[in-house]
Amino acid sequence: MRQGRTLATCTAVALLAGSVQVWVDDPDWGSMSYTSHAEYQAVDANGFGTFPMTDPVKMRGVILNRSEAMLDPAPGAPGFLGGLWQVYVQTVDADDSGGTACWMGQYIGKILGTHPEGSYTDAEWLAELDRLTHDPLSGHEFQPGDLVEVRARAPGLHFRGKNNVNEQHSNDPAADFDVYLLEANHGLPTPTVLTLADLKDGNDDFIFDPDRLVGCEHYQAALVRINEVDWVDTNGWAPDGELSIQDGTGRTFPVKLGLGDGYNAHEPPAGPFDVVGILDQEDLDSDDGHMDGYRAWVTQDYDGNGSIVPASFPLTGDLDDDGDVDLDDYAVFADCLNGPGNSPASGCPSGVNGDLDDDEDVDLSDFAIFACKLTANR
């Protein structure tokens, strides 16, 4: 079993943007209040982050993705920063909005000019991946849908339009962030159904609201579902590809595909179809601020179904794949129910098993999870 670490005496210094950042001692995490994602992602009128990246923060939310579905984690992976890891955590609090990306790179010393000493060796990187992908107390391997607490010491940086939890490019353990399990299989949030008119104006410009009440900023790092769209063209259809969708009104929106093999195995769907992804931002040009560069990052693979990209989206309890959890899903669940220790019942539809707690049967434990999701979606 992994044990939580204590850094009561650790101090680290890193040079960042010409200033000196000092991390001294761990705070009392238990008594620290949560920072909301909306507060952490606050921006000014030009889209630059306003949250002070100086003191530790603690946030909670639901993990939205598997990192390896969007970034290559392999030690020494091709690219400037080697192996990469990133998960998005979306708020579960009614008075909050959006979410936050947690990011790590192997060769982080390159940014500060301390590579290789300030970066991770292959062995160290694998140890970091193991640390970040497992609960320090129970050893539970994190999955999409897990409710977690993020404890960020450094606590992060503003990058291309959004604040990311990271180590501020220092490999000193005092700058680490940790992820703790609060509830396994809490369930993925229902993607917010949007039209492109919620994200783009009539001139096909991104809707940017510095108060983050509407537009792209409001949905930053959260799951969204954009229905009834088509491709502008399909030239970017490939693993890790980039292309755009359109809605017939002149509005378009960029889509970033994950690393799944399904994008090679299947032709792109013909419209109309739906897209489910994480609302992300990578604004490469900071000269005019960070009011641009939004996209939907699809982190699930595609199975050739022709109606939704990615494949059937794994909303917990949505067994008929229509974007909600209702009595129609209960009818599917009832056909799968077969008691503890048994395979799903013979009447269970192909590709659906109702095993919501991942213990290889469909029983009353799964029903308890389903009932919570059914209630939440009423």
- Residue 6 CB-half CA count within 13 A: 3
What the chain holds in terms of domains, given with CATH numbers, is 11-183 (2.40.50.140), 192-309 (2.40.50), 327-376 (no CATH)
The pLDDT value recorded for residue 373 is 64
The pLDDT value recorded for residue 322 is 62
Whether the CB-CB separation of 183 and 147 falls below 8 Å is answered with: yes
The pLDDT value recorded for residue 23 is 60
Please provide the size of the chain in residues. Answer: 378
Give all strands (DSSP E) within 25-83, no chain letters. 57-63
The pLDDT value recorded for residue 369 is 75
Query: What does the pLDDT profile of the chain (378 residues) look like in tens digits?
Result: 333 443 332 333 333 433 345 566 789 999 999 999 999 999 999 999 999 999 999 999 999 999 999 999 999 999 999 999 999 999 999 999 999 999 999 999 999 999 999 999 999 999 999 999 999 999 999 999 999 999 999 999 999 999 999 999 999 999 999 999 999 999 999 899 999 999 999 999 999 999 999 999 999 999 999 999 999 999 999 999 999 999 999 999 999 999 999 999 999 999 899 999 999 999 999 998 999 999 999 998 998 988 889 864 545 677 776 656 788 888 888 988 999 988 888 888 866 667 877 677 888 878 877 776 665 555
Question: Before 268, cis peptide (omega within 30)?
Answer: no
The whole-angstrom separation of Cα 342 and Cα 273 is 36
Distances (CA, A) of 162 to 20, 175, 289: 22, 20, 12
The pLDDT value recorded for residue 157 is 96
The pLDDT value recorded for residue 361 is 85
Whether the CB-CB separation of 268 and 281 falls below 8 Å is answered with: no
Q: Which residues contact 204 (CB under 8 A, 6 or more apart)?
A: 250, 251, 252
Please name the residue that has the structure tokens 């809707």: 207
Whether the CB-CB separation of 171 and 120 falls below 8 Å is answered with: yes
